[in-house]
Amino acid sequence: MDQTKLDLIKQAQEYAKIIYKNHYRLSGENVYEHALRVSEKLLKSGIKDEKIIVASLLHQTLGTPNIDKELVCNEISNKFGKDVLEIVKNYHELQTTKISHEGTQGLNDKLIIQTYINLVKDLRVLLIRLADKADNIDTAYALSRELGLKMAGRALYLYAPIARLLQLGNLYKDLENGGFKVLHPNKFYTIEQAVKQKLPQLEAFFSENIPAVQELLKENGIESEINYRIKHIYSIYKKVQKYHLKVDKKNPDFSQIYDISAMRIIVETLEDCYKAEDLMNQIWEQQLDFRDDYIKTPKPSGYQSLHNVYKTDNGDFIEVQIKTKQMHEFNEFGLASHVFYKIGDKFKKNLKDNPDFIKEFSNWKQEQEIDESGSKITQFEAKTYAFTPKGDIIEIPAGGCVVDFAYGVHTSVGNSCSGALVNGQIQKLNYVIKTGDTVEIKTSPTRKKPNRDWLDFVKSERAKTNIRKELRLSE
């Protein structure tokens, strides 16, 4: 990032200090401290678009009490540009959309990510929102138990899946660990202490073996980058649950979690992947039952890598992942990598060095048709996502109306609906719902069946089917 951009960020920091002066969060800290940490989380996640960083510093401005919003908007536009103002305004709009914890835990990832991508309009806003939530969960301790649990539920069941699907590794780990820590503190600290007991042994192993492996590969004509990773606490917890393990912080039983740590070998070519695997097989004892070739058979998300588990000389088990640089970049950036390779040399440097990347992704998202489970996703514009007053997400076809929404809630609600409040305003049954609307269906005890005329304007098959069914029963 050049000096001009750094100066703009510094200017935004100084302006934010003025705006947030004398405004404090429930935790007792000044709002500026929070905004500064949000910008730092984005920078640590590799986001170097100065407009996103500036907007992250200002993301709470329009929600600050007792300010002249018109004046602040003019100042932001004049000092930092119309694009930054647009991000800040869109963030404020998203911030006023409420989704309940109860309405998120049972949702599938596809519905969550589609809903939010539709709501935010601009993925730059979503990045700031996720960083904001990742910081919020760190201060949940300062809130009441009820508010803390609510915040943790959203972090774990709503925001973390979005960050994971967007492959924002630092943020989804922060959100998962933070939410888990608040919801299940005893389990969190038990696993954390168990990992700390194991960590020196793992670090010593990698320090000793990575240089040796890299030298062996080089001797055989394979240039490589080798690093390692340790699973984060929540990910280990899920494995503990899966294998019904007993985790004592002094004597942790991680015997069946072969990927608690992993060596990652990044090579130049596809051929090098299999050559490297052959060489690894000569060093340690390969566990064939745990070999997964995600290169020949990629995961539904498109993830590619060779996975092996080896029994080392000291009797421990270690996972080794082998992939090319292109595979690694795809795995790191997920669906975003489609754009990374699709749009050519202009954007070859990847997300970290590419300020325009998020804009490209925002445009491209409407073309994407494959979700993480491998199933087809209806193009985003083909669906509308609206909310009940409790915050539950209801999916209806684009152009769907109040009646479609009512049947989306429940058949009985659809059959007896008589009207609706949409964003607090009374609307007719044929009113077209927009993504982000909050819809409260009004029912009538005297209405026992739907009206045949509804078939002229409903869009969803569910509504049509139930209307016809009820009409036949009443004939």
Per-residue pLDDT reduced to its tens digit, 96-118: 766 544 444 445 555 665 566 66
3-183: what fold? Hypothetical protein af1432 (1.10.3210)
pLDDT value at 247 more than 90? no
Mean pLDDT across 375-381:
39
Mean pLDDT across 75-89:
96
C-alpha distance from residue 441 to each of 148, 269, 289 (Å): 30, 58, 54
d(CA 318, CA 284) in angstroms, rounded, equals 10
d(CA 62, CA 128) in angstroms, rounded, equals 15
Mean pLDDT across 244-266:
71
- Mean pLDDT lowest for which of 238-247, 318-327, 455-464? 238-247
Higher-confidence residue of 133 and 260: namely 133
Long-range contacts, 359-368 (Cβ 8 Å, 24+): 359/124, 361/123, 361/336, 362/121, 362/122, 362/123, 362/124, 364/338, 364/339, 365/117, 365/123, 368/335, 368/338
Domain ranges, ordered by start, for the chain: 3-183, 198-231+250-321, 380-474
Q: Residue 362: its pLDDT value, please?
A: 44
Q: Residue 367: its pLDDT value, please?
A: 41
Residue closest to 125 by CA, chosen among 104, 151, 99, 96: 96
pLDDT value at 371 more than 50? no
pLDDT band at 124 (very low <50, low <70, confident <90, very high): confident
d(CA 84, CA 22) in angstroms, rounded, equals 24
Computed over every residue of the chain, the mean pLDDT equals 82
Q: What number does CATH give the domain 380-474?
A: 3.10.20.30
- Mean pLDDT lowest for which of 7-21, 32-46, 69-83, 328-342? 328-342
Q: Residue 380: its pLDDT value, please?
A: 42
Q: Residue 392: its pLDDT value, please?
A: 72
Mean pLDDT across 58-69:
93
pLDDT band at 340 (very low <50, low <70, confident <90, very high): very low
Helices (H) and strands (E) in the chain, counts: 19, 11
Query: Is there a contact between 52 and 128 (Cβ–Cβ < 8 Å)?
Result: yes
d(CA 365, CA 375) in angstroms, rounded, equals 16
C-alpha distance from residue 160 to each of 126, 155, 176 (Å): 12, 6, 6
C-alpha distance from residue 36 to each of 31, 57, 171, 424 (Å): 9, 6, 16, 35
CA angle at residue 121 from 125 to 344, to 5 degrees? 85
Fold match, 3-183 / 380-474: no
pLDDT band at 226 (very low <50, low <70, confident <90, very high): very high
Q: Residue 101: its pLDDT value, please?
A: 43
Q: Residue 95: its pLDDT value, please?
A: 84
Higher-confidence residue of 311 and 248: namely 311
Q: Residue 454: its pLDDT value, please?
A: 96
Q: Residue 360: its pLDDT value, please?
A: 44
The residue whose two tokens read 């390692």 is: 228
pLDDT tens, position by position, 28-48: 899 999 999 999 999 887 777
Provide the angle, in degrees to the nearest 10, between the axes of the packed helices 270-283 and 185-219.
100
Q: Residue 111: its pLDDT value, please?
A: 60
pLDDT band at 259 (very low <50, low <70, confident <90, very high): low
Mean pLDDT across 75-88:
96
pLDDT value at 302 more than 50? yes
Cβ neighbours of residue 102 closer than 8 Å, sequence gap 6 or more: 390, 391, 392
Residue closest to 115 by CA, chosen among 302, 378, 340: 378
Identify the three-state secondary structure at position 213: helix
143-152, 327-336, 345-354, 398-407: which is most confident: 398-407
pLDDT value at 435 more than 70? yes
pLDDT value at 376 more than 90? no
pLDDT value at 284 more than 70? yes
Phi, psi dihedral angles at 77 (to 5 degrees): -60, -45
Query: Is there a contact between 433 and 405 (Cβ–Cβ < 8 Å)?
Result: yes
| CATH superfamily for domain 198-231+250-321 | Beta Polymerase, domain 2 (3.30.460.10)
pLDDT band at 135 (very low <50, low <70, confident <90, very high): very high
